[in-house]
Amino acid sequence: MAQTYVDWALAKRTARRFVADGPSTTPGEAAAAVEDLRGAAMRAHGPVAETARMDASAGAESPVHIVDRTAWIDVNVDSMDALLAPVIDILIAKKKAGPRTRAVGAKVGGAETGALMGFVASKVLGQFDLAPDGRPSLLLVAPNIVAAERELHVDPTDFRLWVCLHEETHRVQFTAVPWLREHLIDRVRSLITDLVPDPEALQERLQTVAKALPGALRDGGGGLTDLVVSPAQRAELANVTAIMSLLEGHADVVMDDVGPQVVPTVEQIRAKFDERRKGAGNVDRMLRRLLGLEAKMRQYRDGAAFCRAVQDKVGVDGFNQVWTSPETLPTAAEIETPTAWVERVHG
């Protein structure tokens, strides 16, 4: 086996053991859901592009894959492997761990990654997969979408299109802004490389984790990400998070602006879905908080507030200056104070 710090095959096997079963459907219901989702993804193209005022026609259209939970796991583990491969090369060069130590670490890393992926695989509805070493694609997780529409008691056709509006906006973002994908991948790789401690710093880091764990689980905490970063690293993490907030918030704004035009029951769907995002129960909320998924929910809220505030000041075309270059992306401080971004970019 090639040198690595994560056993990716074990991660896939572990995730498949942890992932919950999907909703009960007949073969006919499953086939109908797949076809409906494929059609909804196509119907989302025009309204999203028109509302976002972003031209995604220059790039090759990303494929749409309707997947189950295990297929989502496989795609995301492969993408994580591709994302981290250059980082692991750096770690192997920096750390002098022997083959046995590295093999044990790879098993632990694979098991931990798999457990996380198994949990998330039953939650995510859709995703634009950046595929660091492959072709980006739009993923729609059919069993999770069916489970959500049943749980919320909403119109299935409307809900499926509504989900596709959000994910289609991500496709447009990364297709219309050709530098964005590589920029985000590079920033994440650089951050992860910096977050991994040198061997000499590991014991000190573990002591910090033990002391800080209660605070990381508080309301508003960032989960495990609060435990492993210095002030400088936390600042860089905040700026990378600001990019994710922009992407998620913008997708929410576009889907809500398009929604009334094509989704008759959009107000009912949005109200019920916002309640669902809060988490189902105490255990679910604790896991979300620990894994940083609660912070992910804040990305939608904060990013949408930023987009709305900027559009109120300078309109949609003025807001789209955010996609001009890496320098026009908002910082963490600007996500919280949109007028600061307007002043910096529009003067």
Q: How confident is the model at residue 289 (pLDDT cuts 50, 70, 90)?
A: very low
Q: How confident is the model at residue 255 (pLDDT cuts 50, 70, 90)?
A: very high
Kind of pairing, strands 126-129 and 137-141? antiparallel
Please state the length of the chain. Answer: 347
Rounded CA-CA distance 135/44 in Å is 21
| pLDDT for res 282 | 46
| pLDDT for res 204 | 54
Contact by Cβ (8 Å): 143, 22: yes
Q: How confident is the model at residue 281 (pLDDT cuts 50, 70, 90)?
A: very low
pLDDT digits (tens, 9 = 90+) for 123-145: 899 999 999 988 999 999 999 99
Percentage of the residues of the chain whose pLDDT score is greater than 90: 54
Percentage of the residues of the chain whose pLDDT score is greater than 70: 77
Tell me the longest C-alpha to C-alpha distance in the chain.
61
Which two structure tokens, joined as six digits, stand for 178? 């050709």
Indicate the range of 6-20, 169-183, 295-309 predicted with least confidence.
Answer: 295-309
Q: How confident is the model at residue 314 (pLDDT cuts 50, 70, 90)?
A: very high
Q: How confident is the model at residue 238 (pLDDT cuts 50, 70, 90)?
A: confident
Neighbouring C-beta atoms of residue 276, cutoff 10 Å: 11
pLDDT digits (tens, 9 = 90+) for 30-80: 999 999 999 999 999 999 999 999 988 765 567 999 999 999 999 999 998
Contact by Cβ (8 Å): 293, 284: no
Of 300, 294, 295, 298, the closest CA to residue 250 belongs to: 300
Q: What is the helix (H) or strand (E) element at residue 273, kind and residue range?
A: helix 266-276
Which residues does residue 283 pair with via DSSP β-bridges, in sequence order? none
Rounded CA-CA distance 169/248 in Å is 9
Q: How far is CA 171 from CA 139, 186, 195, in A?
A: 10, 19, 29
Q: Which residues contact 87 (CB under 8 A, 6 or more apart)?
A: 189, 192, 193, 196
Rounded CA-CA distance 318/339 in Å is 13
Which two structure tokens, joined as six digits, stand for 123? 């939650």
Of 156, 153, 176, the closest CA to residue 30 belongs to: 156
| pLDDT for res 234 | 77
| pLDDT for res 90 | 75
| pLDDT for res 285 | 46
- Mean pLDDT of the residues in the chain: 83
Q: Which residue has the higher pLDDT, 241 or 150?
A: 150
Of 151, 173, 138, 143, the closest CA to residue 53 belongs to: 173
12, pLDDT greater than 90: yes
Q: How far is CA 65 from CA 102, 172, 249, 273, in A?
A: 35, 16, 23, 23
Q: Which residues contact 278 (CB under 8 A, 6 or more apart)?
A: 285, 297
Q: Helical H runs in 122-154? A: 142-152
Mean of pLDDT values over 152-168: 96
